[in-house]
Chain A
Amino acid sequence: MSLLSVRDLKVGFGPRPEENQVVHGVSFDLEPGETLAIVGETGSGKSVTSMAVNRLVDFGGGRITGGSISYTRSDGASLDLAAAAESELEQIRGREIGMIFQEPMTSLNPVMTIGAQIEEIFRLQQGLTRAGAREAACKALERVRIPDAARRLSYAPHQLSGGMLQRVMIAIALASNPRILIADEPTTALDVTIQAQIMGLLAQMKRETGTGMIFITHDIGLVAGIADRVMVMQDGKVVEQGPLDKVLDNPRHPYTQHLLSAVPHFSDGKSVRGDKASPDRVLKVEDLSVRFPVRTGLFRKHTGNIHAVEGVSFELRAGETLGIVGESGSGKSTTARAILDLVKSTGGVTQVDRTQTGGTEKPVQMVFQNPNASLNPRLTVQSILAEPMTAAGRRIDEEAVTRMEMLLSRVGLPADSLTRYPHEFSGGQRQRVCIARALMLKPSVLVLDEAVSALDVSVQAKVLDLLIDLQREFGLAYLFVTHDMAVVERIAHRIAVVYAGRVVEIGDARELLANPRHRYTRQLIEAVPSLERRRAEYSIDSRAMPSLVRPIGFTPEVEAWLGAGEDHFYRQEA
């Protein structure tokens, strides 16, 4: 008998759940010690399915409208979770089914210490005393490899990083040795190197405890590293399920095939672009630095500086994409913003060479990460597109409207979009509006700050294709800031790797991805999940990025550049 056997599960929302169904008859089994990956995009019903298992879906307004979830308890008795009473479910949750969530930053109570939040489950589920629970909590933290565990117990969540918090969540979920662990996109909010640590930890935990795991993700590349079986969902239905190798190597359903082929997967530089950029330079950045003052005390005395960006230099040619890659806090977004003067740079020169694109007073434009937040919901698309022109002091005349229509059709939006509002568009379409807006003033350089990161994977691929087309047509130069190695591989001609405020390696994309030289670049590339690396052993390296806070007057040491090829340089390491 399976550990968990779900048959024809249907879940609906709202006052009439039968009519508003989002999961339409899902069936699967989970064996002890097995990992089942559920793959799908936003709205596929993958999270709802998993939260129906421990019935957390009830608290989000969901109702199970059909089917059964039969769970085999440790004494062999079978229980239908779909029909179980709340009091029974309270015995199951936390004790037999643990769960970890996508956002570790918001999944822990901000006003309680992490120690209290771990102790709680020991007291609740194992009836330990205060002292016993404290000791158990300390052991649980050690088990998820948090250094200095005893001291961390008294920390509040905001004092720990996202990766640390996710480990705390894992410690809580595994506290009572549950027989099933549900992991709902546990690494999506984390940096790649942190993701690799968490994946490594989950794999080890699974081996140590023999827990059956349901792993939900949108990233089919991540699945390869951990799953035994894969289930692909689309629009609330299972389109394909089977053993890992079978699904990845011989996908039967067109949607699975699409996920595997159309979606960017990292392949060590094998899928970089083949086209060449023009030799004309459009942007030159030399020795760019951004420092934010640190002020302390009553009189806000200036006591030091955060060296967010330090001595960054690069050039950009017409029709070329320079990918700026790094993790959160590395200074990659600050670099982009400093080029547009959105943050004040403290040193260095940014020089824009006006070129063939028609000469404009604002030759550098930007596209932001979250299209939902960067479009004013109260403006029509026409007003949104008019804004950069108004800001540049231009009149909105016949010609401007013609350009709006031309750009909308170029980014693939219907002609009647001008009179519509942002909420009438999907996420991918909104990002297309943002791109059209950035192109209104005929810029020569587009700065794209994580421009596809908030989009679903298959939409991501389409927007990337659009960007490449536009680049060829208008001879645009892109500064493409991202944390996603698979995305940067698809779009960049050249790549700069940023770590702790500095460029540590720069050069031709194929060269750099295939033969990374700097320690950090190698670490970054090793951490990227890929379809070819199945059941990989992720190493657990919990070294943190060095602090960027420096005393006033601190002159940073400049490591020498070493050459590794015609267009491939990296910093010497100490």
Chain B
Amino acid sequence: MSYPIKRLLVFPLVMLGVSVFVFIAIRLVPGDAITAMLGTESGLLTPAQRDALSAYFGLDQNWFIQFWRWFAGVLQGNFGISTTYGKPVMTIIWQHFPLTLELAILSMLIALSIGIPAGIYAAAHKDRPSDLILRIVAMFGQSTPSFVVGLLLIYLLSVGFGVLPEMGTFVPITEDPLANLAQMILPAITLGTAFAAAVIRMSRSTMLDILQEDYVRTARSKGMSRRRVIWRHALPNALIPVITLSGVEFGYLLGGAVLVEQIFALPGLGRTVLDAILQRDYALVQGSVLFIAFNFMIVNLLVDLAYAALDPRIRFETK
């Protein structure tokens, strides 16, 4: 049986685990959906009205029954109704997810396209000033929290240059790609900084190791130029750990999106989840987290496939 299919078979198990975990975690947070929904007005409810509302949302049952009802729905593709929006959870997710996905992909592109060349450059110029500078930059990039980067960027652009990023109404990429990109570029840089820094460090250190490998010496003994040795022989090997890193970092990007969307007032899934948590919108939190977990797994499956495409040793071992 082929490797990707084997991996797909594990998906349902992980999804079940994630479901149980989120279901319990959100219920451990004090407060309840009805109070959160109605605010101070909830004090005016009679016990009977409150019970009626609880029964309407199914919150009067114990956790097992609640979980079972929800999970049985999920299995049939029904993620339930959001208490805050009064709409099906799936509809809301599809409304907000494209933005978060775009944000994650953009920041990944930025991080990889800056990080890999910079890391290779640093490795090729080991211990020279350019390497030292890149290492310091990478360390700062990795240790500065993304909200600080975001706020700094906004401050620099608005106060320093008088350019204010367009943050009014969000323009989807399907309507006006350029305007959309103008809106997304700052958040993407903010989100991608730490990732880019990690990629610089990872690609620099693997590149340094690989440049000491016997096969690199062989390539040199063939009379290849420094540049060719690096791009043709060393790079494919150095990419393998960077790709692994990308898969893991993708999870952080989805998590980091919660913060960045908040800072830049973007109506993405991250922000929706945050609101849903504050509103105790159980169905929406569960549905969104499950959805994000699913995406994370898909990305890591793709990572493994990319791995196999790069490294023949892996391709044949899975036979």
Residues of A within 8 A of B (CB): 54, 56, 59, 86, 89-95, 98-99, 101, 103, 106-113, 120-121, 124-125, 156, 158-159, 169, 172-173, 297-298
Contact = CB atoms under 8 A, between A and B. Distances in A.
A94 B311 CA distance: 26
Interface stretch (B74-82, B139-147, B215-223, B293-301): B215-223
A159 B316 contact: yes
Contacts of A99: 218, 221
B215 A106 contact: yes
Q: Which of A111, A113, A120, A121 has the most CB of B within 10 A?
A: A111
Contacts of A158: 312-313, 316
B223 A90 contact: yes
Interface in B216-251: 217-226, 232-233, 236-237
Contacts of A106: 213-215
9 contacts: A99-B218, A99-B221, A111-B237, A113-B312, A121-B223, A124-B224, A156-B312, A172-B218, A297-B1
B223 A94 contact: yes
Contact of A298 (B6, B221, B313, B316): B6
B316 A93 contact: no
B214 A111 contact: no
Q: Which of A56, A112, A159 has the most CB of B within 10 A?
A: A112
Contacts of A93: 220-223
A420 to B, nearest CB: 30
A101 B312 contact: no
A94 B220 CA distance: 8
Contact of A124 (B211, B222, B236): B222
B302 interface: no
A236 B270 CA distance: 65
B222 A298 contact: no
A156 B313 contact: yes
Please tell me the size bucket of the interface on B: 20 to 34
Given A90-B225, A172-B222, A101 B217 contact: yes
Contacts of A103: 214
B217 A109 contact: no
A113 B213 CA distance: 17
Contact of B221 (A56, A86, A110, A159): A56
Contact of B217 (A59, A98, A172): A59
A156 B219 CA distance: 16
Contacts of A159: 316
B316 A109 contact: no
B223 A91 contact: yes
Given A156-B312, A158-B316, A94 B214 contact: no
Given A56-B220, A156-B312, A159-B316, 7 more contacts: A59-B211, A109-B218, A109-B219, A109-B237, A125-B222, A156-B313, A298-B9
B72 interface: no
Contacts of A95: 223
Contacts of A90: 223-225
Given A103-B214, A158-B316, A297-B1, A110 B220 contact: no
A372 B224 CA distance: 35
B209 to A, nearest CB: 13
A112 B231 CA distance: 13
B223 A169 contact: no
A99 B224 CA distance: 13
Contacts of A101: 214, 217-218
Interface in B278-293: none
B217 to A, nearest CB: 6
A121 B220 CA distance: 11
**Top 5 A-B pairs, shortest CB-CB distance:** A94-B223, A156-B312, A93-B223, A94-B222, A106-B214
A442 B215 CA distance: 46
B92 to A, nearest CB: 37
A156 B215 contact: no
Contacts of B225: 90
A59 B218 contact: no
Contacts of B223: 89-95, 121, 124-125
A111 B217 contact: no
Contacts of A172: 218, 222
Contacts of B232: 120
Contacts of A92: 223
A360 B1 CA distance: 52
A156 B214 contact: no
A141 B256 CA distance: 53
Given A103-B214, A107-B214, A54 B221 contact: yes
B237 A169 contact: no
B310 interface: yes
Given A56-B221, A93-B220, A111 B316 contact: no
Interface string B106-137: 00000000000000000000000000000000
A110 B218 contact: no
A112 B218 CA distance: 13
Nearest to B6: A298
A64 to B, nearest CB: 16
Contacts of A98: 221
Contacts of A111: 236-237, 310-312
Interface in B188-230: 211, 213-215, 217-226
A14 to B, nearest CB: 12
Contacts of A173: 221
Given A121-B222, A124-B224, A297-B1, A110 B312 contact: yes
B1 to A, nearest CB: 5
A154 B215 CA distance: 18
A94 to B, nearest CB: 3
Given A90-B224, A121-B222, A110 B233 contact: no
Nearest to B310: A111
A172 B222 CA distance: 8
Nearest to A54: B221
A166 B220 CA distance: 17
A108 to B, nearest CB: 6
Contacts of B215: 106-110
Contacts of B236: 111-112
Interface in B1-18: 1, 6, 9
Contacts of B316: 156, 158-159
A504 B287 CA distance: 67
Contacts of A125: 222-223
A103 B219 CA distance: 14
A174 B200 CA distance: 38
B220 A120 contact: no
A486 to B, nearest CB: 27
A85 to B, nearest CB: 12
Contacts of A86: 226
Contacts of A56: 217, 220-221
B216 to A, nearest CB: 8
Q: Which of B1, B6, B222, B312 has the most CB of A within 10 A?
A: B222
A109 B312 CA distance: 11
Contacts of B224: 90, 94, 120, 124
Contact of A94 (B213, B221, B226, B312): B221
Contacts of B310: 111
A460 to B, nearest CB: 25
A23 to B, nearest CB: 18
A186 B220 CA distance: 18
